[in-house]
C-alpha cells in the first residue's frame, strides 16, 4: 500500500487531526464550493468535510486518504475514497476533471509540496489549500525567546515526531504562486478558528494570522 506520510508519523498525524479539530475551518471551505461541483479531497481523513459537502452542497465528491481506519470510516459514510500517495501525483485523474481539489492542512506534511500543487492544478480547475502559518507572531516569539522549535495550537508537536516536514509562511506561499504564474482568487486568514477581518490581519497577515486558506488557479 502507498502512503503520503511515513508510518512513524501516522500516530502523530492522527493526534493532530483529533486534538486540533480540523472541522473548525470546514464551514469556511464549504462556503467556497458551489453546489453540485465535482470535488476531490486530498488527505480527507475520516471524510467529515467530504460528507458535509455532499449533504449540504450536493457535490460529486471523491477522497484520497492514507490511513486505513479513516478509509473504513469514509466507506461507512457512503463516500468514494481511495488510498494513494499524493506525493507520487494524481495520474489516475484526467486534466481538469474536478471543479475543486482540496488540500486541508496537509500541504506541510507532503514530501513534494510543489509537485502536489502542480498536480492539484492539473486535475482541478481550482484548488483550495489551507496550512498553518509558520511566521505567526507567537511562533516567532517562542523561537526567539526559547531558542527551540516552536509549538502552538496548530503546531503542537515536538521536533522529533512532527508530521510537518515542509513548514511555510503566507509570504512563502504567495511568492511561490507568483513565480509559477498561479492566480490567487481568494485568501482568508484565521486565528484560533476565527476569520480575521481587522486592519492588522488585512495588512499584516504573515505576522498575525495563525492559519491561511487560499483558492488558486493556474493562469
Q: Which range has the worst mean pLDDT, 21-30, 95-104, 125-134, 206-215?
A: 21-30
Residues in the chain: 219
Cβ burial of 131 (10 Å; 0-12, 13-18, 19+) is buried
H/E run at residue 71: helix 68-76
pLDDT the model gives residue 191: 83
Asked whether 171 and 135 are in contact (CB, 8 A), the reply is yes
Residue 20 has pLDDT above 50, yes or no: no
Q: Which CATH number describes the domain made up of 7-218?
A: 3.40.50.150
Check residue 7 and report its DSSP letter.
G
pLDDT the model gives residue 35: 97
pLDDT the model gives residue 203: 74
Helix (H, G, I), strand (E, B), or coil: what is residue 205? helix
Check residue 163 and report its DSSP letter.
S
What average pLDDT does this structure show over 195-211?
74
Measured between its terminal Cα atoms, the distance across the chain in Å is 35
More confident residue, 183 or 14: 183
Of 123, 122, 103, the closest CA to residue 113 belongs to: 103
Residue 214 has pLDDT above 90, yes or no: yes
pLDDT the model gives residue 194: 64
CA 198 vs. chain centroid, Å, equals 24
Q: Which range has the worst mean pLDDT, 34-38, 121-125, 181-185, 206-210?
A: 206-210
Contacts of 126 (CB under 8 A, 6+ apart): 99, 100, 101, 185, 215, 216, 217
More confident residue, 58 or 1: 58
- Set of cell numbers at residue 98: 474536478
Q: What mean pLDDT value characterizes the chain? A: 86
| Band (202; pLDDT cuts 50, 70, 90) | low
Question: In angstroms, rounded to a whole number, what is the distance separating the alpha carbons of residues 104 and 93?
Answer: 19
Residue 10 has pLDDT above 50, yes or no: no
pTM of the model: 0.85
Of 18, 23, 55, the closest CA to residue 39 belongs to: 55
pLDDT the model gives residue 14: 45
Write the pLDDT tens digit of every residue in 144-180: 999 988 887 778 888 888 888 999 999 999 999 999 9
Q: Where are the alpha helices (DSSP H) in 21-67?
A: 26-32, 48-57
Amino acid at each position: 500500500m502507498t502512503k503520503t506520510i511515513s508510518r512513524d508519523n501516522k500516530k502523530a498525524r492522527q493526534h493532530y487531526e483529533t486534538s486540533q479539530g480540523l472541522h473548525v475551518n470546514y464551514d469556511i471551505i464549504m462556503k467556497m464550493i458551489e453546489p453540485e461541483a465535482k470535488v476531490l479531497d486530498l488527505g480527507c481523513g475520516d471524510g467529515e468535510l467530504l460528507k458535509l459537502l455532499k449533504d449540504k452542497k450536493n457535490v460529486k465528491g471523491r477522497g484520497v486518504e492514507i490511513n486505513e481506519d479513516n478509509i473504513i470510516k469514509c466507506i461507512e459514510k457512503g463516500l468514494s475514497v481511495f488510498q494513494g500517495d499524493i506525493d507520487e501525483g494524481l495520474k489516475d485523474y484526467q486534466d481538469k476533471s474536478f471543479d475543486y481539489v482540496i488540500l486541508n492542512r496537509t500541504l506541510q506534511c507532503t514530501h513534494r509540496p510543489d509537485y502536489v500543487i502542480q498536480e492539484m492544478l492539473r486535475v482541478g480547475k481550482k484548488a483550495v489549500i489551507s496550512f498553518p502559518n509558520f511566521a505567526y507572531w507567537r511562533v516567532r516569539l517562542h523561537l526567539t525567546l526559547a531558542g527551540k522549535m516552536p509549538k502552538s495550537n496548530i503546531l503542537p508537536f515536538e521536533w522529533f515526531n512532527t508530521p510537518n516536514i515542509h513548514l511555510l509562511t503566507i509570504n512563502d506561499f504567495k511568492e511561490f504562486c507568483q513565480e509559477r504564474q498561479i492566480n490567487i482568487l481568494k485568501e482568508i486568514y484565521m486565528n484560533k478558528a476565527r476569520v480575521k477581518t481587522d486592519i492588522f490581519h488585512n495588512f499584516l497577515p504573515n505576522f498575525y494570522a495563525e492559519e491561511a486558506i487560499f483558492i488558486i488557479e493556474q493562469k
